[in-house]
Amino acid sequence: MVTDEELVAAAREACERAYAPYSGYDVGAALLARDGTVFRGCNVEMITFTNTIHAESGALGAAVAAGHREFDAVAVASGERDGVTPCGLCRQTLAELCDDDLRVLCDVGDGIKEWTLGELLPGAMSGDEVEHQR
């Protein structure tokens, strides 16, 4: 069983690998799959910014590529240890495959602030809405 502290530590480790030459704001994420596997991601900035990979999206992409579709928690850490939460784009990305009760652990340096995905993104878009538009 992966503890919250271990998951945040994995996000910090991923943060150390970030490539953020334009913003200087390194971010790492660690996504806990239901089976206990941890997938890491870090931000990878591109000069165009539209092609930038966010840490949470990178971790989710690695998990999906490995065949995972069920998740229990995600931890996010920045080099600043400032309690960064997933941005709106990443919240919606996580909502694609994660339930509202996905635990979101944010590194505040000397502790962990916990949210649920539903608290951070109430009323997330869903596949049901797309089906209704067809």
- Please state, as a whole number, how many other Cβ atoms lie within 10 Å of the Cβ of residue 62: 15
Is-contact 76 94, C-beta < 8 A? no
Report which secondary-structure segment, H or E, holds 129.
helix 127-133
- 131 catalytic residue (yes or no): no
> First vs last Cα of the chain: how many Å apart?
42
Give me the catalytic one of 56, 114, 119, 131. Answer: 56
Catalytic residues, by residue number, are 56
